Structure 1
Amino acid sequence: MKLRYLIPVACTMLVSGLTQSAPLEIQLPPETAQLKPSNHPGRVIASQKCAICHSVDYINLQPGTMSLKQWTAEVTKMQRAYGAPIDEAEIAQISAFLATTYGTEPAGTVTTASAASAPAGSAKATDAMSLLNANACLGCHAIQNKIVGPAYQDVAKHYKDDAQALSKVSANIRQGGSGRWGAVPMPGYAGLSDEEIHTLAAFILKQ
């Protein structure tokens, strides 16, 4: 067989082998990193919003020489460039927490008016879809299909005959965790009010 015929045959065999290969599955290790302890209200928001997109290790590995201005620029970039679900008040609170806990600002020297007056991480709207969008829930969940986390219809089916379904799903939303539906952790939403948690849980269980 001449060389010009060998090349197409070899290519065909290679493509055939690739198409028959099983898809590669990657198992991520469980999240173990934690934010440093702090009483600053920005810690609550950081724990529930930052962990939606990346590990806490991303914060732990940043240089300890960053000022409030630098942390504010970093958190603002997360919102504007990457679509992090945080508003301007939350940017101020998260930045203040990071600057005093991980950066160069002495603890207790950075405060914001919004941190003193607004409930940490609380969404303004109380309807389910607004809450889902405000807290980036739909980035990991969908109504009918599994994305990162389970589909809401699958959650509703799982708890269909459970008399404690509402309280269990509410607790799962507030506390977060991993292992219920896979190894990828879900951040807790401790900053949401009881009414907001109830609204989300009731919506999920109706799917």
Structure 2
Amino acid sequence: MKPMKFITTLLCAAPFCLATLASAAPLSITLPPETAVFKPSTLPGYALAQQKCSVCHSADYINFQPPGLSLAQWTAEAGKMQHVYGAPISDQDVSVIGAYLAVTYGSAKANDADVQAASNPPAAQPVAVTVAKVDAKTLLQNNACLSCHAIDHKVVGPAYHDVAAKYAKDPQALDRVMSSIQHGGSGKWGDVPMPPFAQLSPDDLKSLATFILSQ
């Protein structure tokens, strides 16, 4: 085939190929359900890691890190999540989570003085007895709820509008939604698990549940 004739053939065929691609059905990819879990521990960072870390990545991510990291190294990793990737964790959370990771996945021991100090920072106690009431939108932001949910469309989890519609005629709706937020779980809206938010106060749980059910 002569060069010019070959080029002309390609140009004529191009619109047909583009039209075929445009009309093709979009690919549907189904990911396997999450099975990785954080290793259990009595340290307070265990619950915090379940609540905050699993919002952004699988527990398997922890296993990919080099073995034997120290308290300082694991704390630096948690700090990187906060400062580089914008994880919704405070400086205090970084300290508590770093201690849990260092003991459970690294070289630190639970009874080390620096681990105990990191797991129980002085500022941790007054936070639970604060009198100021936090509004629902601030709670959504601080706990990264909007990373997985939206008001009117599904993201990872269901839209809040759909949750409100599901429980619209349920007299136990408020208690059920509060329990779902507090304890997490999977199966109600698919296989993707929702992490537990066990550290939220009853008032915060009620504020979030009331907001969701009003959508």
Q: What TM-score results when the alignment is normalised by the length of structure 2?
A: 0.89
What amino acid does structure 1 have at the position aligned with 2:27? Answer: L
Q: Which has the higher contact order (CA 8 A, sep 6+)?
A: 1
**Larger Cα-atom Rg:** 2
Equivalence map 1:1-207=2 (5 Å): 2-109=5-112, 110-112=115-117, 115=120, 117=122, 118=124, 126-207=134-215
Q: Which has the higher mean CA deviation after the structures are superposed, 45-54 or 110-119?
A: 110-119
Q: Deviations over 1:117-163 (max 9, x none)?
A: 526x9798521011000000011111112211111111101110011
Residue correspondences, number? 206
Measured in 2, the distance between the counterparts of 1:175 and 1:168 equals 10
Q: Which runs of 5+ in 1 are unaligned?
A: none
Distance 1:47 1:65, change over 3 A: same
What amino acid does structure 2 have at the position aligned with 1:181? Answer: W
Distance 1:8 1:76, change over 3 A: same
Q: Which has the higher mean CA deviation after the structures are superposed, 89-98 or 62-71?
A: 62-71
How far apart are residue 2 of structure 1 and its match? 2.6
Measured in 1, the distance between the counterparts of 2:186 and 2:77 equals 28
Identity of aligned residues (%): 51
Q: Deviations over 1:85-141 (max 9, x none)?
A: 00000000000110011100112211236725526x979852101100000001111
Question: Does the aligned pair in 2 maintain the 1:149–1:181 contact within 8 Å?
Answer: yes
How far apart are residue 53 of structure 1 and its match? 0.5
Measured in 2, the distance between the counterparts of 1:116 and 1:193 equals 19
Question: Does the aligned pair in 2 maintain the 1:49–1:135 contact within 8 Å?
Answer: yes
Measured in 1, the distance between the counterparts of 2:17 and 2:192 equals 34
Q: Which runs of 5+ in 2 are unaligned?
A: none
